[in-house]
Amino acid sequence: MTPPAAEIAEAISFDQNLTCQTAIREIRAQILTLPSIRAHRLSNTEFTSREFVLVRVLLANGIEGIGEAAVLGGPRWAEESVESIQAAVERYLAPALIGCPAARPAEVAARMAKAAFRNNSAKGAVETAVLDAFTRTLDVPLATMFGGAQVDKLPVLWALASGDADQEVEEARAKLAAREHRDFKIKLGFASPVDDLRRLQKLRDEVPEMRRLIVDVNQAWSEADCRRYLPALQELKVDLIEQPLPGDDFEGMARVARQTQIPLMVDEAAFSNREISRAGAMGCGSVYSLKLVKSGGLLALSHAARIAEAAGFELYGGCLLEGSIGAAAHLAVFGTLPQLAWGCEHFGPRLHVSEIVREPLVFEEFHVHVPQGPGLGVELDEDQVRDALRPD
């Protein structure tokens, strides 16, 4: 059995040469923009292109690692924007980490925690880049840091979020025909519940081949809305409901969970381990959405999975529409988990018109493949990166 990350790091720390080689020399943060194949709607925003921050970490040995910091159309899902992420990385996190060995990931996390409060997306991208550079130095996959991958691919769903029922029917049919996705998540909350139910009914009627149907309300309903409309969701054979109530309404989520036979998924309600434990103890749901942007680092994400399981949750691999870099980072952790009952939703790379990596992630037979190369297993296409850079 491969030893856990803490033991690996402790053993490596005795190798003074490796410690010197992996000292962090430089950290950069660049804002990139990639156009989307279609509009993507949430309860509080809509966008047709995605902005994110590419973080680069250069070690003393000349090896560079990369990470991705994601947001959803600005500081709407959480408090961070691409501008605040870039500033946090360059002004606070980078100065705290220069000279720190990537071979000591616990020290990296501790230094970032001291340099900045929360800023989870910024920290997650920096730690990803550090671990990518470190595992490239060792010539091993990033999953090695978390005990090694147990699977080489994971079930992956597709999100339907245009709000146009006819378009969504055709999109779902195309994904099924290509054998890329058979589980679907439908974004609700940007229309009235009645209109949302009409969309769902059309999808159920016209795309009966869907295996799982998950709805994400993005905190847009009230407890009264849940009482009115959850019975209709049950009639439509919805398999899972994601965060119907505002994230801070633990009591309401617990009451709703007791009233329905459909499992509820806790997402925005729980970022920290304390919040995960509290949500589990209160019975706010039975599924937990794992996200790097909530945990603030891959080491913490792996830990959050264990905390959620101990709190009684089944696990779901969530995303913030990350591209191939962010998706590969998540998959490095998800592939090591003993159970990921609901698969993952790292379809984000397929929402982009173009890519910034040389070889995109592989989607086939309703699964996404876990990259196998050293580090993250993805390589930048520098020409595409230059084209995607946002002008200063």
Query: What does the pLDDT look like over 324-381, one tens digit per residue?
Result: 999 999 999 999 999 999 999 999 999 999 999 999 999 999 999 999 999 999 999 9
Tell me 70's DSSP state: E
Which residue stretches of the chain are H helix?
Answer: 5-13, 16-21, 82-88, 94-97, 105-115, 120-138, 165-177, 193-206, 223-235, 250-259, 273-282, 292-295, 298-310, 324-334, 382-388
For strands 46-59 and 314-317, give the pairing: unpaired
Q: How far apart are the first and last CA of the chain?
A: 49
Q: Are 131 and 102 in contact (CB under 8 A)?
A: yes
Q: To the nearest whole number, what is the mean pLDDT of the chain?
A: 94
9 pLDDT band, cuts 50/70/90, is: low
Query: How many Å separate Cα 223 from the centre of its chain?
Result: 27
49 pLDDT band, cuts 50/70/90, is: confident
Question: Which residues are CB-neighbours of 47 under 8 A, at least 6 positions away?
Answer: 36, 39, 40, 72, 73
Q: Does domain 5-141 have CATH number 3.30.390.10?
A: yes
Q: What is the residue extent of each domain of the chain?
A: 5-141, 146-380
pLDDT in tens, 57-76: 999 999 999 999 999 878 88
pLDDT in tens, 105-154: 999 999 999 999 999 999 999 999 999 999 999 999 999 999 999 999 99
State the Cα–Cα distance between residues 22 and 102, nearest whole angstrom. Answer: 5
Strand partners, 145: none
Q: Which residues are catalytic?
A: 187
Tell me 193's DSSP state: H
| Tokens describing residue 228 | 């009115």
| Tokens describing residue 170 | 């055709």
- CA dihedral of 189, 193, 197, 199, whole degrees rounded to 10: -50
pLDDT in tens, 246-287: 999 999 999 999 999 999 999 999 999 999 999 999 999 999
Residue-level pLDDT at 1: 46
**How many other CB atoms are found less than 10 A from the CB of residue 1?**
5
Classify domain 146-380 at the CATH topology level. TIM Barrel (3.20.20)
